[in-house]
Amino acid sequence: MNFTIKNQIEQFKQHNQNRGRLLVSCPDQPGIVSAISQFLFSFDANIIESSQYSTNPEGGIFFIRIEFECPLLKTKENEMVLKFTEIAAKFSMDWRLTPVYKVKKAAIFVSKELHCLLELLWEWQSGDLMSEIALVISNHEEAREVVEGLNIPFYYIPANKEIREQVEEQQLQLLNEYAIDVIVLARYMQILTPKFVEANAKKIINIHHSFLPAFIGARPYERAYERGVKIIGATAHFVTNDLDEGPIIEQDIARVDHRSDVDTLKKLGRTIERSVLARAVKWHIEDRIIVHQNKTIVF
């Protein structure tokens, strides 16, 4: 990591040393917001931003994301977690309390096509993707020069279906060594095993070069062309063991017509892919996503 980016991250940590985020989902019932507000007030915390949603006020699921400022948060963090555990038990909550100064560590997986990787690196260098890109893993050498040029560790690990388990053992060891919080598949053209996915549940974000649920799997642009589509798109989603069917985070589209051949679709699609993936990763590192069943709530 070069000095400029390291300095940006340190400034962000300093600026947000007292900022926290609380994400909650639970059965909807009276008193949830009041209990959370009273909890934060008891620690002298001030609510900066609050967003909430209910699938149904009568018997539905309630979701809320709160961002707050709390004096001396670092010294209060453990006590806050302990106290909120009691509230969570009362309301049957799934919850996550995250200090903002704990910047998330990301690992990027990539193959030959670099447009999504380059977009993420640009956002990272500009300070708009506030994470620590700890390493890049690839089954090809194409990305080495640009990655190492930014002083990011680059690991070339050839992969195919015959050696997939051995490859993933090495990858999992690296992810553990670097204490990775989020894995970004930036056009990493390998299918992950159930063991790998299970070890990183709700931590793997993939970009699929199609507007899911259409054209799941390989060669979506070719199949879109054969079908004569009038729009193409891209989908960022969490990875599950069901191929390209994990919870969708973000999507976008562009219009095409009968003049658009496969190469045109791919060129236009790359622009969509890189912006969709960048938004999804940003929202994840900003703790804006709650997964519910096979859907996401994005605040």
**Full pLDDT tens readout for the chain, 299 residues:** 777 898 999 999 999 999 999 999 999 999 999 999 999 999 999 999 999 999 999 999 999 999 999 999 999 999 999 999 999 999 999 999 999 999 999 999 999 999 999 999 999 999 999 999 999 999 999 999 999 999 999 999 998 888 999 999 999 999 999 999 999 999 999 999 999 999 999 999 999 988 878 888 888 889 888 999 999 999 999 999 998 899 999 999 999 999 999 999 999 999 999 999 999 999 999 999 999 999 999 99
Spell out the residues 6+ positions from residue 7 whose beta carbon is closer than 8 angstroms to its own.
none
- Which residues are tagged catalytic? 244
Which residue type does 290 have?
Answer: I
d(CA 229, CA 225) in angstroms, rounded, equals 6
What pLDDT is attached to residue 219?
A: 86
Closest CA to 147 of 120, 172, 174: 120
Contact status, residue 66 vs residue 49, Cβ threshold 8 Å: yes
Q: What is the pLDDT of residue 293?
A: 93
- pTM to 2 decimal places: 0.94
The Cα-based distances of 136 to 10, 77, 166, 223, 287 in angstroms read 21, 32, 18, 30, 22
Give the residue from 213, 210, 224 showing the smallest Cα distance to 260.
224
Give the pLDDT score at 209: 86
